[in-house]
Amino acid sequence: MLHKFARLIVDYCTEVRRGDEVLISASFEALPLIRELWKAIVSKGAYPHFNLHDDVLNEIFYKYATEELLRYESKIDVFMVENIDVRISILSPTHTKPLVSVDPEKIKLRRQALRKLTEVFMRRDAEGSLRWLVTVYPTNSLAQEAGMSPLEYSEFVFKSLKLYSDDPVRSWIKQTEWQQKVINALSKTSELHFVSRDTDILVRVDGRTWINDDGKNNMPGGEVFTGPHEDSTEGYIVFTYPAIWSGIEVEKVKLVFKKGKVVEATAAKGEEFLRKILEVDEGAKRLGEVAFGLNYDVTRFTKEILFDEKIGGTIHMALGASYPRTGGKNTSAIHWDMIKDMKKDGKVYADGDLIYENGKFLEDVLG
């Protein structure tokens, strides 16, 4: 299965070519997959690099770093982001809440220092000079966080990736074709109105580009998204699932917007942290993304955003940076996705017409 996974990443997701410089970032938990990737990359005539991510090392940095070091901008990190051809990030944590005891102020300072990396990444993504992928390797900590056994979680992951199909690439192409129908309908829309029992919010999307997440940047893929007009968001929304940032959970987030800006933010748990992140910069108070989750093989909330934002029958909105290729102009050091389940009483109107109800687009809308 891991050989199949590696080939999907190299051949389909990132299309590794001869002469590419490829950076793999992961923990040692993902070593079995890294070895398969290494073999697949080298066999393409590309040059692999490995960047170790370790939760304990990260915690040590926050514990002992001075304010000067927290604000430090690494020239080497910038050089890597500016010069690699392909970046493969494999989420494979040994602990799902590594920063739970870290002062939110320190996290805020570090996010501000990393802003240039985010900007370089967003620019290269927009111009198409960087091929990148975020995927996941099933670890025991992720399984435990999701409330599954290790075997059950591995099966969940591989099903979400469509690795059980005879031809995973063909399965993703079919998913892409269906999502394009959704995009064709949304691209004619000027204003989206999201309504449910605890939500009534409007965003403008006219002139913006909808992106088809076909598994090229996220694996699993399974969403369509755009960057709304920065000053357009009006109303309120309550997110169903905990909003998670570096393992810190903020529950029952309610955001109230006026002229595109968050004017009120509350949470049942983690409200102080939520407000700290909103203070990172001005862009953190505005939406950088609005999206529909369309992967109906992802059937449950796992506390891992890579899966959760794709749950079929959900929407999500992200505070902070827009992806420039959507036409979004919001800039920020953060990009924080928050998810709402629409399967029970959710409705979405496009310029006043109902297009989506109870977690699905209406068939006559897609043609």
**Residue 359 burial (CB count, 10 A):** 20
Maximum C-alpha span of the chain: 58
What CA–CA distance (Å, rounded) separates 13 from 24?
14
Specify the amino acid at residue 18: R
Cβ–Cβ under 8 Å, residues 344 and 329: no
CA distances from 5 to 110, 146, 307 (A): 33, 21, 16
Q: Tell me what the mean pLDDT of segment 41-62 comes to.
A: 93
The predicted pLDDT at position 282 comes to: 92
Q: Tell me what the mean pLDDT of segment 322-347 comes to.
A: 93
Helix (H) or strand (E) segment spanning residue 119: helix 115-127
**Confidence grade of residue 107 (pLDDT, cut at 50, 70, 90):** confident
The tokens for 72 are 């430090």
Same structural domain, 115 and 229: no
**Confidence grade of residue 95 (pLDDT, cut at 50, 70, 90):** confident
Q: Is the pLDDT of residue 353 over 90?
A: yes
Same structural domain, 338 and 317: yes
Q: Is the pLDDT of residue 367 over 80?
A: no
Number of domains in the chain: 2
The predicted pLDDT at position 18 comes to: 97
Helix (H) or strand (E) segment spanning residue 218: strand 218-219
Q: Tell me what the mean pLDDT of segment 80-98 comes to.
A: 91
The predicted pLDDT at position 333 comes to: 84
Same structural domain, 230 and 111: no
Same structural domain, 185 and 122: no
Please name the residue that has the structure tokens 């903020």: 250
Cβ–Cβ under 8 Å, residues 26 and 137: yes
The tokens for 300 are 């449950």
Domain boundary among 160, 184, 205: 160
Cβ–Cβ under 8 Å, residues 288 and 318: yes
Cβ–Cβ under 8 Å, residues 195 and 346: yes
The predicted pLDDT at position 271 comes to: 94
Among 104-113, 140-149, 266-275, the minimum mean pLDDT is found in 104-113
Same structural domain, 134 and 243: no
The predicted pLDDT at position 104 comes to: 81
Cβ–Cβ under 8 Å, residues 210 and 186: yes
Same structural domain, 155 and 195: no
Q: What is the CATH number of the domain that holds 122?
A: 3.40.1830.10
Q: Which of 181, 187, 177 is nearest to 350 (CA)?
A: 187
The predicted pLDDT at position 280 comes to: 87
Q: Which of 107, 149, 138 is nearest to 304 (CA)?
A: 138
The predicted pLDDT at position 105 comes to: 85
Query: What percent of the chain has a predicted confidence (pLDDT) above 70?
Result: 100
Please name the residue that has the structure tokens 């070091």: 69
What CA–CA distance (Å, rounded) separates 340 from 226?
17
**Residue 125 burial (CB count, 10 A):** 16
Helix (H) or strand (E) segment spanning residue 178: helix 168-186
For 168-200, write each residue's pLDDT tens digit.
999 999 999 999 999 999 999 999 999 999 999
What CA–CA distance (Å, rounded) separates 293 from 339?
9
Q: Which of 17, 25, 22, 354 is nearest to 195 (CA)?
A: 354
Domain boundary among 160, 177, 202: 160
Specify the amino acid at residue 154: S
Same structural domain, 143 and 221: no
Q: Which domain holds residue 114?
A: 2-160
Q: What average pLDDT does the chain have?
A: 93
Q: Is the pLDDT of residue 207 over 80?
A: yes
The predicted pLDDT at position 64 comes to: 93
Rg of the chain over Cα atoms, rounded to whole angstroms, equals 20
Same structural domain, 125 and 239: no
For 26-37, write each residue's pLDDT tens digit.
999 999 999 999
Query: Hey, which bits of 31-166 come out as E strands?
Result: 47-52, 86-91, 131-136
Same structural domain, 307 and 360: yes
Domain boundary among 99, 128, 160: 160
Same structural domain, 208 and 252: yes
Same structural domain, 180 and 101: no
Q: 184's torsion region: left (phi>0), alpha (psi -120 to 50) or beta?
A: alpha
Q: 346's torsion region: left (phi>0), alpha (psi -120 to 50) or beta?
A: beta
Q: Tell me what the mean pLDDT of segment 153-182 comes to.
A: 94
CA distances from 244 to 208, 219, 241, 269 (A): 27, 19, 9, 11
The predicted pLDDT at position 247 comes to: 74
The predicted pLDDT at position 126 comes to: 82
The predicted pLDDT at position 115 comes to: 86
The tokens for 319 are 């505070």
For 215-247, write each residue's pLDDT tens digit.
999 999 999 999 999 999 999 999 999 999 877
Same structural domain, 234 and 137: no
Report the half-sphere exposure of 169 (CA within 13 A, side-chain side): 11
